[in-house]
Amino acid sequence: MKTSETRFKGMRDLPSAHLLGTGTAMCAGCGGLEVLHEIYDILGKKTVFVNAAGCMTLLSIYPFTPFRGSWIYTAMASAPAGAQGVRDALDTLKRKERMKPADDLKVVCLTGDGSAYGMGLSSTSAAIDRGLDFLYICYDNEGYGNTGQQFSAATPHGARTSTSMGPRGFPGSKKDLFSIWAANSPAYAATVAGAEPLDLARKIEKADTAKGPRLILALSPCPVGWGYDPKDSVEIGKLAVKTGIWPLKEYIDGKVVHTKIPKKRLPVEEYLKRQGRFAHLFEPVRKDDILKEIQAGVDAYWEGVEG
Amino acid sequence: MKRRLLTGNAAAAWGARLADVDYIPAFPITPQTEIIETIAGWTDSGEMDASMVTMESEHSMITAAGTAAATGVRVFTATSSQGLLYAMEMLYTVAGWRAPFVLVNVSRALAAPVTLEPDHNDVLAARDSGFLQLHCSTCQEVLDGVLLAYRIAEDSRVRLPMIVNLDGFYLSFTREPVEVPTAKEAKAFLPPFDSKGMSFRASSPISQAVAVLGGGPYSYFRYETHLAALNALTVFDEAAEDFSKIFGRSYGSVESYRTEDAKYLFVMMGSFATKAREAVDRLRDEGWPIGLLRPRLVRPFPAEAIARLASGKEAVAVIDQNLSLGKGGVLFTEVSSVLYGQPGAPVMLSFIGGLGGRDISPEEFFEIAGVAKHAAKEGKAPPPRLLYTEDELKEVRKLQMIANVERGELEDEDE
């Protein structure tokens, strides 16, 4: 999309008032909530959010809800199937003229990485197979955050979680969910970060106009799970982009395009050392081998991009 | 009304067609698959104005059924056995949403060991889920049951999903003559779907299925749902009366066969109860005062009707086609809980039979009647008993011998 085609030409074009209500049970500095605010302001209230078990399930607690549009909580594994039922029902009602077209809604899945990368991947995959017209938002805080940050399939290599407390942290690597989606020709897929709101807004704008399965994979810095001061959430998000750890990209018209390539990438250490989950890589002794491993992984990724 | 020769599965599909359902999320599983194949044929040809989607699992299927019902359309779906268990989390969930729709379960015994033939452990695993349960013993009852189930599920006093159960193979694949109502007749009984405000619309945003904090609201909503399930007893009776006026077929929450002057009763669910019914006739010919009770409704449990029909009898033999491992027959426990402490409570006998489609012979019913008569005389019930013959045991011993020989040969090869 050329700058001329977006209504978000600069920061001043971003919505100034938030649609999502305040006073929810999310933690202070929640990166997931930051991202949800930014997305919801653009999608608007003619939406129904179909939620899977995770932190965000606690947004709507009887008798309160911060959503000015609609919401339904399903279960951990089957939010995309829930989206299917809502979408099909709305289409049926329109077809049979039992609902005014103006009453139609955009169907949006909202899940954490635990569901998106793991338990919900089967129902996600099937929703893509069926070409379901829905937007899938994954707020990725790289672990089972709601239960106290155990490692998930989204946890990065070396991160300490409450189930990877050893000296080398999580031995596995973060699963590439974006590529799983991209490999199956979705209508649209993008990574975003709340700390890059303009890039995010333009992507939501594109996702919103596409029809079919669409993914928004949002890095969601988590003060509690990652171990940093809540006031630093935006800074951590920016560092994830500047170090190249969280590439901002989109899959559109059959191609993956990077939307913000850091001109000179900061060393990954700048990102890692700010977070308690990586503290064991620096003290009591510096673990150069793991740090090098992580840096090499990031470098290899960008070599592939920059060719 | 037109008479057709239909399998139980086809009768279930006809029920959905006549209920004028809007949406069918589906997933294939033996012995249910014929239902969704039949419906797929009709939606493809345009004979049914409904949209059907094949999901990737029963868990997703029930999720989609629930969210579609919550969006405001009439939903039908079907499964069996392992599928019902795979969906179990969502059975509880969508019942809690108070999403009314109909799920046909074609009973099939559960793994392990994996098998195809029926018993009721699958559907009874869903007993406490909040889904209401209607159990059928003929193909006619399957078709009628689907129509009845929509009336009950959608009633404002109930608003709960309902399972219509039929036995795999014995009913699913057995053809019987079935009176098929016309669409007009069906509509006279079951009016077009009314979501009663349960919907998602841009002009009336709502948050559904939200979390609660603490036991106070949780207990309130759970007990309220329980009371709604109990309301289905009255609603069933009303719906059955309407049904009988329109179609001339009467259904009670409990089928009571030759019980009035009986001293002894068989109690059974599902299609195997037709075997008990046959045995009652043969025993009556020999002068035995015996009858049969068959609960059609299993949830809500028709406690009052059972108490009324069984009190004052000398002995009641419950034949369970299920087994709660470590306890015994589920229906036995439920019927006993209704009769315990009642004036004129009969001696209660428990038999387990028909597991995994194992047949129950007329001779076994005669034996049960004899044991019941003896227990009544003694005033004391014998321990629970598995219906199983010496010949069957010999057969299994033979299989075990073969298995041992095969293993021995493999071990010899390894050496």
Query: Could you tell me what percent of chain A has a pLDDT over 70?
Result: 98
Is A93 in contact with B72 (Cβ distance < 8 A)? Answer: yes
Per-residue pLDDT at A221 = 98
Q: What is the mean pLDDT of chain A?
A: 97
**pLDDT of A43 higher than 90:** yes
Tens digit of each residue's pLDDT (9 = 90 or more) over B220-248:
999 999 999 999 999 999 999 999 999 99
pLDDT given for residue A262 in this prediction: 95
| Residue B348: Cβ within 10 Å count | 20
pLDDT band at B414 (very low <50, low <70, confident <90, very high): confident
Q: What's the gap in Å between the CA of A131 and the closest CA on chain B?
A: 12
From A198's Cα to the closest Cα of chain B, the distance in A is: 27
The DSSP code sequence of A103-136 is G--EEEEEEEHIIIIIITHHHHHHHHHTT--EEE
Give how many domains chain A has, as a whole number.
1
Look at A70 and B71 and tell me if their CB atoms are within 8 Å: no
Statement: residue A208 has pLDDT above 80: yes
pLDDT at B15: 98
Give me the domain span that covers residue A246: 3-306
pLDDT in tens, B92-128: 999 999 999 999 999 999 999 999 999 999 999 999 9
- Kindly list the residues from chain A whose CB atom is less than 8 angstroms away from the CB atom of residue B23: 85, 88-89, 92
Task: Return the number of CB contacts < 8 Å for A and B.
Answer: 158
Sheet holding B254-257, edge to edge: B254-257, B290-295, B264-267, B315-320, B347-352, B385-386
- Whether residue B415 is predicted with pLDDT greater than 80 in this model: the reply is no
ipTM of the complex model: 0.97
pLDDT > 80? residue A4 = no
What pLDDT does A91 receive?
98
CATH number, residue A95: 3.40.50.970
- Contact residues, chain A, for B46 at CB < 8 Å: none
All residues of chain B having their beta carbon less than 8 Å from the beta carbon of residue A84 are 25, 53, 55, 60, 64, 67
Predicted confidence at residue A3, as pLDDT, reads 62
pLDDT digits (tens, 9 = 90+) for B237-279: 999 999 999 999 999 999 999 999 999 999 999 999 999 999 9
Nearest C-alpha in B relative to A125:
B56
Please check the confidence at residue A2 and state whether its pLDDT lies above 70.
Answer: no
- B66/A65 Cβ within 8 A: no
Chain B nearest-CA distance from A170, in A, is 30
B23 has a chain A CB within 8 A of its CB: yes
Q: Taking CB atoms and an 8 Å cutoff, what residues of chain B touch A61? A: 210-213
Confidence of residue A5 (pLDDT cuts 50, 70, 90): confident
Alpha-carbon gap, residue A162 to A277, rounded angstroms:
10
pLDDT in the model for residue A203: 98
Chain B 72-91, CB below 8 Å of chain A: which residues? Answer: 72-73, 89-90
A80-138 per-position pLDDT tens digit = 999 999 999 999 999 999 999 999 999 999 999 999 999 999 999 999 999 999 999 99
Task: Encode pLDDT of B146-158 as tens digits.
Answer: 999 999 999 999 9
Mean pLDDT of A262-266: 95
Q: How far apart are CA B276 and CA B259, in angstroms?
A: 13
DSSP per-residue string spanning A185-248: --SEEEEEETT-HHHHHHHHHHHHH--SEEEEEEE---HHHHTS-GGGHHHHHHHHHHTTSS-E
Q: Which domains does chain B have, with CATH numbers?
A: 2-247 (3.40.50.970), 254-390 (3.40.50.920)
pLDDT band at A158 (very low <50, low <70, confident <90, very high): very high
**Contact (CB<8Å) A129/B56:** yes
The answer to whether residue A1 scores a pLDDT higher than 60 is no
Q: Do B70 and A88 touch (CB under 8 A)?
A: no
Nearest to A62 among B70, B205, B210 (CB): B210
**Interface check B64 vs A, CB under 8 A:** yes
The residue assigned the tokens 């006031």 is A231
Mean pLDDT over A255-272 rounds to: 97
The mean pLDDT of B334-363, rounded to a whole number, is: 97
Element (H, E) at B391: helix B390-414
Instruction: Find the mean pLDDT for residues B392-411.
Output: 95
